[in-house]
Structure 1
Amino acid sequence: MSKTILEMRSITKTFPGVKALQDVNLDVREGEIHAICGENGAGKSTLMKVLSGVYPHGSYDGQIIYQGEEQQFRSIRDSEHKGIVIIHQELALVPLLSIAENIFLGNEQAKGGVIDWDETRDGARKLLSMVGLTEDPDTLVTNIGVGKQQLVEIAKALSKQVQLLILDEPTASLSEKDSQALLDLLLEFKKQGITSIIISHKLNEISRIADRVTVIRDGKTIETMDTENISEDRIITSMVGRSLDDRYPSRTPQVGDVVMEVKNWNVFHPLHRERQVIRDVNITLRRGEVVGIAGLMGSGRTEFAMSLFGKSYGQKISGEVLLNGKKVDTSTVDRAIRNGIAYATEDRKTYGLNLIDHIKHNTTIANLLGVSRWGVIDDLAEMDVANDYRKKTNIRSSSIYQVTGNLSGGNQQKVVLSKWLFANPDVLILDEPTRGIDVGAKYEIYTIINQLAAQGKAILVISSEMPELLGITDRIYVMNEGRIVGEMPTSEASQEKIMRSIVRAEGKAS
């Protein structure tokens, strides 16, 4: 058995009004990949911030034993000097600096106070090759994709002589291909003797690469499992405190008349005027129906949704939108909302929420008229609305005055849903509604979707997870290269049929 490289003993961390961690224990063996699982808000990221010095010694109770010695990290720099490097879910790269500059930021290759650019570029090339990248070190980070940015972060960690690598939801924003490449890289690091801790809600990934799994629930350690005992069902039961025999809540669809029709929808790229992104898309949504759009990354699903919602994406947009048989104007976000259309973006942190404001204001922002009198916001009415939706969507927070940026991903998504529910739309477009959310919070989101459908709302769900679409929708459109290439009732759909529609479409295009 490998020796223990890290012990965290009785870690307790308290924020005003909230005990985030309570007597948490964790031990990690040298050279292993150790996964940490738990629902959003369970305390996983908080524990890793304690370990890495983001929350310095003195701000928590308990002990950190690393390499046999008690550590008292007062900053990230302290932990990095010991070979502990954390890569946060929100990447800490500077977009307008080059790859090489980002890799050695804070660790500049300098002589006599002057940066040696040849050494910087050569060092960056060597590190990039270790993570499988062939990019020119002078390339700006903003010009590479998220998957490659994640690898640049890992190259940056390698430049600091990493011994214990911590990754917080490293594949949350990656495509399946990029996710697999990153997981393969972690397995390669394991062969080289690097120890890794990975926080992830993707149980299939954990089952594939983890040697052991520690589950945290409500700020407490529940159990640690070895590889031979790891199963998705057991992890889920430990995470949520109950068995989820069915991951998708059952419902009996009551589909009514057509609410929305989109006819001959065409969209061109916002920068490249001659590049058509969406081609002749036609869809219908019925009252009480949950409709999905399946497709591979880059198929145009998000571009279609954003262009539909106030022309938030693209140019030279043409086509018609009919609500209840009547043509409506959705050319601005305000007009789309007034006509009963809502869009919950896939990027809730950038476009869906004001992260520095509290829950109350985020809940009412899309329908200020609903909490105003004679043009003045009624603070008591706004407070009642926010409290009401906090209860309805089960937002876990200290109060409606908690800053939204401090909520877990699942609870942030519930705030996004609350915002649009209060706007009372007839059509709700949900773009990747459960991205970055654990299985327990997903179930709650699915339950909310079912409740909305039961109220007669028409719901359009865009998701990269085919099992999710098969589990919650009534009908599925398949999209590829900006076109609708298939349509089927979910009762007749399967992952194979969806992929067959995509492949056939690509064959015709070629």
Structure 2
Amino acid sequence: MTLTDAAAPAVAPRTPALEARDIVKRFDGVHALDGAGFEVLPGEIHALLGENGAGKSTLIKVVTGLYAPDEGVLLRDGEEVEFATVRAANHAGVVALYQELSVIPSISVAENILLGDQTPSRGGLVQWRALKRKARAQLDSINQRIPLNMLAGDLTPVQQTMVAFARALATDARVLILDEPTASLTDTEITDLFAVLRSLRERGVAIVYVSHRLEEVFELCDRLTIMRNGRTIVTKDVADSHIDEVISTMVGRSAGELYPERGSGAGPVALTAANIDGRRVKDVSFEVREGEVLGIGGLAGSGRSELLRILAGAQKHSGGVVTVGGTTLKQSPGVGRALEAGIALVPEERRSQGVILGATIQDNIAVANISEVSTMGIVSASRISVITQRGMKDLQIKARGPRQPVSELSGGNQQKVVLAKMLARRPKVLLMDEPTRGIDVGTKAEIYRLIRQLAEGGTAVIAVSSELPELIGMSDRILIMHEGRVSGEVPAEGADEEVLLAYCYGKAEAHDHHQ
């Protein structure tokens, strides 16, 4: 029997713990937010989604007192508020924990938890026993056993996140805003984090969860709000939505259009790896052809990234031979030699390895292409300008101009600068480690398009990814690694995620069963 509407008990609408209404924010006359808003209820985990540049970060900065809105209102528990500073927002119980972790590395865990106003003191002297007792109570409340005397800088990323939580709770935060909290965590650590977030939800804390990882949103969150171009597009229950629908709403096009058509076919062999041995990699052999995109998958620690570093000359190997375009590289040739032979690597850690953040876009591109932009040691400004303009145009880098510092660009555009830098070299083989890590869906689509364009132009692309749908969508052929060895190989066309996952766990029998 179904209840009619009349028989259903009336539920009083809950007052949002925090609401942003019709927020407008302009920078240099450009709308970063154009009437955006969202609300989060007490005891709710609410996902805030959108591509890079959709306005999520700006909206969070407005609700946490970093930016003042040009128009619109903020309400805390239904009362209109103005947060002139971050401290004012914190006093009202609204606290943001950012991706760049908010602990002070040089002081202890206990001191981090009870910073500033929270430190128990009498007559200006810190009461250490009371401080430790209170800090321990905060950690206990989220089931964490972290040593109180440890320096925060010595903790793992997940422990630092937990300490930041404990500090927020010590200030009686009722609205927690998390920006990409799982970016540097392992699967086990993510499970721990989710357990803590669920316990906070039960205690009535309102949590705003910003993440690019949609699987997490569907596992953890109650409702989601999607932003696009500075506006709020939709808010709905997670239970009433699915990933493809979210992606197409974020991008304004369907998920199927994320990946370009596969290539028309591969040419001669571009690179051969024979019996490669490294620290973790054991006896790996494969070849990749001109115009082919070879995807490499496997769990964290399977040896995928090490294999790329060995091919790029960035890590020594103890056995095996790499041949590029008919030339056999000497053992552990070094990055310079590998580059000369035509192998370029776009690393996963773009911020530390891929770009010089303080330098401009054009300087980043020029440094990597000194032979191309100089004659007899004299650098040609016009040549730098030509390859920079070409890179910015080909890759659709969104920036004020070639002289903008890379540090001011979004993550996706930083990734494109790394690519532009490598592509200016016109490599025979392009190695990419997690090419779309931490990048929004729209930029992902552009990077897949670029990978495909390169392949069409005859480059062999080898891309490592931990996301199975991405491996299937962007590759022509997929190798899966397990504990340093190749555990399986399949054509990407029509590949089955379950089969790939079985290979990731080293279960080759799945393959026999599949045949």
- Is 1:226 the counterpart of 2:237? The answer is yes
Shift in CA distance, 157/460, structure 1 to aligned 2, threshold 3 Å: same
Q: Distance in 2 between matches of 1:302 and 1:102?
A: 35
**Which residue is equivalent to 1:475?**
477
SS at match of 1:413: helix
CA deviation vs aligned residue, 1:2-48 (integer Å, no higher than 9, x gap): 11222323322233464322222333333322221111111101110
Aligned equivalents of 2:306, 2:162: Cα separation in 1? 26
Q: Residue 282 of structure 1 is aligned with which of 278, 282, 285?
A: 285
- Relative to the length of structure 2, the TM-score reads 0.88
Question: Which residue matches 1:383?
Answer: 385
**Residues 41 and 407, structure 1, Cα contact 8 Å, conserved in 2:** no
Q: 2:192 corresponds to which letter in structure 1?
A: A
Aligned to 2:249: 238
Pair 1:67-2:67 in alignment:
no
Does the alignment pair 1:321 with 2:332?
A: no
Does 2:88 align with 1:85? no
| Alignment equivalent of 2:445, drawn from 443, 446, 465 | 443
What 5-or-longer segments of structure 1 have no aligned partner? 269-276
Cα separation, 2, equivalents of 1:318 and 1:128: 48
Q: In the TM superposition, what is the alpha-carbon distance from 1:166 to its structure 2 partner?
A: 0.1
Q: Distance in 1 between matches of 2:147 and 2:87?
A: 28
Cα deviation digits, residues 66-96 of structure 1 (max 9, x gap): 2333333233222111111101122223445
| Closer, same or farther: CA 89–253 of 1 in aligned 2, 3 Å | farther
Q: What does residue 416 of structure 1 align with?
A: 418
Pair 1:34-2:46 in alignment: yes
1:195 is matched with which residue?
Answer: 206
* Structure 2 unaligned blocks of 5 or more: 1-12, 510-515
Deviation of 1:109 (Å): 4.1
SS at match of 2:75: strand
CA deviation string 1:296-324 (max 9, x = no partner) = 1122222332243233x4x6744322112
Query: What is the total number of aligned residue pairs between the two structures?
Result: 495
Match of 1:372 among 374, 378, 400: 374
Q: Secondary structure at the match of 2:255?
A: coil
What's the counterpart of residue 9 of structure 2?
none
CA offset at residue 401 of structure 1?
2.7
- Report if the CA contact (8 A) 1:95-1:141 is conserved: yes
Partner of 2:179: 168
* Of 496-505 and 279-288, the range deviating more from structure 2: 496-505
Q: Please give the root-mean-square deviation of Cα atoms over the aligned residues, in Å.
A: 2.6
Cα drift, residue 331 of structure 1: 3.0
Q: 2:64 aligns to what? A: 52
Deviation of the 1:222 alpha carbon: 2.0
Alpha-carbon spacing, 1:213–1:282, altered in 2? closer, same or farther (3 Å): same
Instruction: Give 1:224-303 correspondences, 5 Å limit.
Output: 224-227=235-238, 229-268=240-279, 277-303=280-306
| Alignment equivalent of 1:4, drawn from 12, 16, 30 | 16
Is 1:100 the counterpart of 2:110? The answer is yes
CA distance in 1 between partners of 2:490 and 2:256 (Å)? 27
Q: Does the C-alpha gap of structure 1 residues 14 and 385 become closer, same or farther in structure 2, counting only changes over 3 Å? A: farther
Amino acid aligned to 2:472: L
Work out the CA distance in 2 between the residues paired with 1:491 and 1:219.
Answer: 37
Q: CA–CA distance in 2 between the matches of 1:108 and 1:194?
A: 23
Tell whether the 8 Å contact from 1:17 to 1:398 is kept in structure 2 after alignment: no
Per-residue CA deviations over 1:322-362 (Å, capped at 9, x if unaligned) read 11232124532222222211111111112112222222222
Q: Which residue number corresponds to residue 127 of structure 1? A: 138
Find the partner of 1:465 among 444, 464, 467: 467
- Percent identity between the two aligned chains: 40
Q: 1:23–1:220: 8 Å Cα contact kept in structure 2?
A: yes
> For the residues of structure 1 that align with 2:351 and 2:387, how far apart are their CA atoms?
22
CA distance in 2: counterparts of 1:150 and 1:90, whole angstroms = 10
State the secondary structure of the residue aligned to 1:357.
Answer: coil
Q: What amino acid does structure 2 have at the position aligned with 1:343?
A: L
Deviation at 1:391, TM superposition (A): 1.6
Taking the TM superposition and a 5 Å limit, the aligned residue runs for 1:135-146 are: 135-146=146-157
Tell me, in whole angstroms, the C-alpha distance in 2 between the residues paired with 1:18 and 1:8: 20
* 8 Å Cα contact 1:480-1:505 kept in structure 2: no
The alpha carbon displacement at 1:50 in A equals 1.6
Q: Following the alignment from structure 1 to structure 2, what is the Cα–Cα distance between the partners of residues 426 and 98? A: 50
Q: Which amino acid aligns with 2:408?
A: N
| Distance of 2:507 and 2:242 partners within structure 1 | 37
Moved more, 77-86 or 360-369: 360-369
1:460 and 1:130 mapped to 2: Cα distance? 46
What is the DSSP-based 3-state SS (H/G/I as helix, E as strand, rest coil) of the residue aligned with 2:367? helix
The residue aligned with 1:179 is: 190
Q: How far apart are the structure 2 equivalents of 1:264 and 1:171?
A: 36
TM-superposed deviation, 1:145: 3.3
Aligned to 1:272: none
Structure 1 residue 143 displacement after superposition:
4.2
Query: Alpha-carbon deviation of 1:129?
Result: 3.2
Contact (CA 8 Å) 2:263, 2:291: kept in 1 or not? no
Give TM-score, length-normalised by structure 1: 0.89
Trace 1:332-351 onto structure 2 (pairs within 5 A). Answer: 332-351=334-353
Supply the AA of the counterpart residue of 2:41. Answer: R
- Tell me which moved more, 124-133 or 150-159: 124-133
- Separation in 1 of the partners of 2:373 and 2:213? 39
1:399-451 residue CA offsets vs partner (Å, 9 max, x unmatched):
22332222222222122211111121111111111111222221111111111
* Residue 97 (structure 1) shift: 4.2
SS in 1 for 2:275: strand
1:217 alignment partner AA? R
Deviations, residues 214-245 of structure 1 (Å, cap 9, x unaligned): 22111122222234543333322322223333
Is the 8 Å Cα contact of residues 346 and 435 (structure 1) preserved in structure 2?
yes
Larger Rg: 2
Seen in structure 2, the aligned counterparts of structure 1 residues 29 and 501 have a Cα distance that, compared at 3 Å, is: closer
Matched residue type, 2:328: K
On the 8 A contact 1:99/1:138 being kept in 2, the answer is: yes
Greater Cα shift, 95-104 or 383-392: 95-104
Name the CA distance, whole Å, in 2 between partners of 1:104 and 1:307: 46
